[in-house]
Structure 1
Amino acid sequence: MSTFGDFFKVTTYGESHCRSVGCIVDGVPPGMELTEEDIQPQMTRRRPGQSALTTPRNEMDTVEIQSGTEFGITLGTPIAMVVRNKDQRPKDYGNSTMDMYPRPSHADWTYLEKYGVKASSGGGRSSARETIGRVAASAIAEKYLKLSHGIEIVAWTSSVGGIHMFPPTATHPTPSTNPAFLSLIDTITREKVDEFVPVRCPDQAASDRMAEEIAAFRDKSDSIGGTVTCVIRNVPSGLGEPCFDKIEAMLAHAMLSIPASKGFEIGSGFGGCEVPGSIHNDPFILAPEVPPLETGATRNGIPRPRLTTKTNNSGGIQGGITNGAHIYFKVGFKPPATIGQAQNTATYDGDASGTLEAKGRHDPCVVPRAVPIVEAMAALVVVDALMAQQSRQVSRSMLPPLKTNKPEIKAMVEDGP
């Protein structure tokens, strides 16, 4: 479906080469200052044509708010946003060869199988052009998350091909045990990441090598994949809806809905499978700085202490519920499917002797431009989980306090807010 979220609900529309793309966002709290200036920065980070390492399609991706605000204030009603396609070229795809062959690793064949009809130009809804609506919606979500809880979301390119910012080693098969990685996720900012455009890997040596790798594949009319790592800071504990909407499950759902994504790992990830439980377990400790409890929860009339974990191999999530530590994860992206080389492939009619040389303008590596899209989907997951938990807390607060004269009940519950 084209709608994501239960409380903060986002519906996107548009194809690769139609007149416009955009979204409708329902569930935005009323009374928040919001203009296009809040949304445009992320749109600009996502836009094509940023460098010689990205597609030459030149779209400014200027966003327009159509509804849901007045005088720069949200009304609580649905917010519609539109981005006009200015540099669409459907004629790049409307030739007899492209009409005859489903492009290798594209969605041409599967869309035809599912719907009985497919977009004749570009990837249609399977194109990364669709993600514009997600990024626009997420800018609203991020502003609310920042204002209400100080939540920060930062992503960056962590690998291109076989070049890694934090390559696995025998000592550190997973970055979650690497002090350099743990220091980075404490401090990294989007401004710092963007100092390393066009690759967006915040390490000069690795960034230079990645840029050379992408350029080499571009010059061979080929493509290459890589990974994006993301950290979410200042997330309250208690978010996530077990059993099927655990926060990591929703993050995986969100990330694997991004075009070209092929893998997701959270916390220690697959590298964590190579260390024993005695190292992997995250012991609880008293938080060094105990902030005021948001819920005012107490036990026996005494404010309940805040706990944290000594390590964070869990990636900020345990039992599908946030524990207040940094959430961090990695998303893998395949090489872009459209390449300039001629490829042997079958026609729609089953003739296996054909050759297709695809046309159009495409990235030799999608990873640098996927960075703001990963941030966008992370924001949409967190804001929806936060609103679900707020709904639960408000509903509970309207009940009379439990009588805790029985020991078994007293041990079960907090005294309450």
Structure 2
Amino acid sequence: MAGNSFGQAFRITTAGESHGRGNVVIIDGVPAGLSLDIEDLLPDLDRRRPGQSAIVTQRKEADTPEILSGVFEGKTTGTSIAILIRNEDQRSKDYSNIMDKYRPGHADYTFDAKYGTRDYRGGGRSSARETNVRVAAGAVAKKMLSELFGIHIIGYVKQVGNIIADIPQPQSVTMEQVEANIVRCPDPVKAQQMIALIDEVRKDQDSIGGVAELVATNVPAGWGEPVFDKLKADLGKAMFTLPAVLGVEYGIGFGCATMRGTQNNDIFRITPGSSSEKSGHITTDTNHHGGMLGGISSGMPIVMRCAIKPTSSLSREQDTVTRDGKTTTIATKGRHDPCRLPRFAPMGEAMIAVVLADHALRQRASRL
């Protein structure tokens, strides 16, 4: 299987399946001398792990990481960092009755079409379980970005179903606001409505989709390549590698389709007290461009949104077909998220961090 690595200068490679012994990530490109230990990884892993509230899957996984290499006496050595997270609460028997059936909305059929075989236990390699080690890698990238550049990355729930949060200043949202409720929405009024909706669909043996918003602040101007490796292109690809992401936009996004140029253009200003010769001090009145112009960072906050589809695993009976082409029905047993959004935020943050860490290192070779 190809396609298990992501990035160039800062590169991650993952391996593992939902019901295997565990998942592992190898991180290349972390400079020597960065302070790093298990405690740096736990906060984001705890936000991603299952069983944390009544509105997510009740699978009990501690998701305790083990750093196998690349760190000595609390500092990175400059060599590959390997991180292992073991699976502890698999219930493969939940899938024995559907081993020959294709689950609607899942990758069962497409994996079979590609490889002629598949791991039917929870989706195997296509499961979101694989993202736990990505979140661990993202925590490493976040620490590097924070210490070297003061970059801050945050994700939160913008929308669940038809309930949309009012967040006029994405760059001002704090982690305290996000973590103040179990749905991870910084709008407390809409958060309660979202929780009620998720509980409603759960009781109805159904699921619900929504939108996550992701923000990176203090990203210097000048990161990204001008053609095929645009920063926006790499961020878009990163988001689409995450399970259940069906749409990505940045800045004003699809809203630009109804605007005139005079409305869409962000007017440049010089920050008071700064020099016009320092491009890092040039700002814009608005941020329709979402922090990227020509695929290169502008110094304004990078703001992205991801559309997340409803969880495909449903205990409600649905029509489907078997591997040998017979019609049948299926009801997926097991423990599944009625809404993916509350656990998606740290996954999205992690992939943004990996992309930014990659472009930070690549930028070092761009000029003398």
TM-score w.r.t. structure 2 length? Answer: 0.97
Q: 1:44 aligns with which of 39, 43, 46?
A: 46
Q: Which residue of 2 aligns with 1:379?
A: 353
* Higher mean C-alpha displacement, 201-210 vs 270-279: 270-279
Is 2:77 the counterpart of 1:90? no
Q: What SS does the corresponding residue of 1:224 show, helix, strand or coil? A: coil
Per-residue Cα deviation, 1:163-204 (whole angstroms, up to 9, x for no partner): 1013xxxxxxxxxxxxx513xx232122321112x1000111
Give how far 1:307 is off.
1.7
Q: 1:357 maps to which residue?
A: 331
Per the alignment, residue 177 of structure 2 pairs with: 192
Deviation per CA, 1:42-95, whole angstroms, max 9, x where unpaired? 111100001110001010100110110111110000010011111011111122
SS in 1 for 2:365: helix
1:247 touches 1:320 (CA, 8 Å); kept in 2?
yes
1:71 counterpart residue number:
73
What is the aligned partner in structure 2 of residue 150 from structure 1?
Answer: 150
Query: SS in structure 2 opposite 1:133?
Result: helix
1:258 matched to 2:248? The reply is no
Q: Does 1:181 align with 2:165?
A: no
TM-score, normalised with respect to structure 1: 0.86
Amino acid at match of 2:122: G
Is the contact made by 1:158 and 1:228 (CA closer than 8 Å) also made in structure 2?
yes
Q: What residue number does 2:160 align with?
A: 160
- The aligned runs of 1:199-348 (5 Å cut-off) are 199-290=183-274, 306-348=281-323
The corresponding residue for 2:20 is 18
Q: Is the 8 A contact 2:291 2:303 kept in 1?
A: yes
In 2, Cα distance between equivalents of 1:215 and 1:84: 30
Alpha-carbon distance in structure 2 between the residues aligned to 1:288 and 1:250 = 33
Identity of counterpart residues, as a percentage?
A: 45
Question: Contact 2:221 / 2:280 at 8 angstroms: preserved in 1?
Answer: no
Which has the larger Rg? 1
Asked whether 1:392 is paired with 2:366, we answer: yes
Q: Of 344, 367, 370, which aligns to 2:341?
A: 367
Paired residue type of 2:162: G
Unaligned runs of 5+ in 1: 167-179, 398-417
**SS at 1:181 equivalent:** coil
> 1:124 is matched with which residue?
124
* 1:122 Cα deviation after fit: 0.6
Letter in 2 for 1:101: K
In structure 2, the partner of 1:175 is none
CA distance, structure 2, for counterparts of residue 304 and residue 366 of structure 1: 39
Task: Provide the C-alpha distance between the structure 2 equivalents of 1:201 and 1:365, rounded to a whole number of angstroms.
Answer: 13
Counterpart for residue 402 of structure 1 = none
1:319-354 deviation line (CA, Å, top 9, x unaligned): 1111100110100100000011000111111112x1
Alpha-carbon contact 1:135-1:373 (below 8 Å) kept: yes
Shift in Å at residue 285 of structure 1? 1.1
Q: How many residues align?
A: 366
Q: Letter of the aligned partner of 1:211 in structure 2?
A: I
1:8 aligned partner = 10
- 2:317 corresponds to which letter in structure 1? A
Cα distance in structure 1, aligned partners of 2:141 and 2:188: 31
Distance 1:290 1:21 in 2: 48
Question: After TM superposition, what 4+ stretches of structure 1 lie above 4 angstroms from structure 2?
Answer: none
CA-based RMSD: 1.4
- The AA in structure 2 aligned to 1:380 is V
* Compared CA separation, residues 318 and 305, structure 1 to 2 (3 A): closer
In structure 2, give the amino acid aligned to 1:5: G
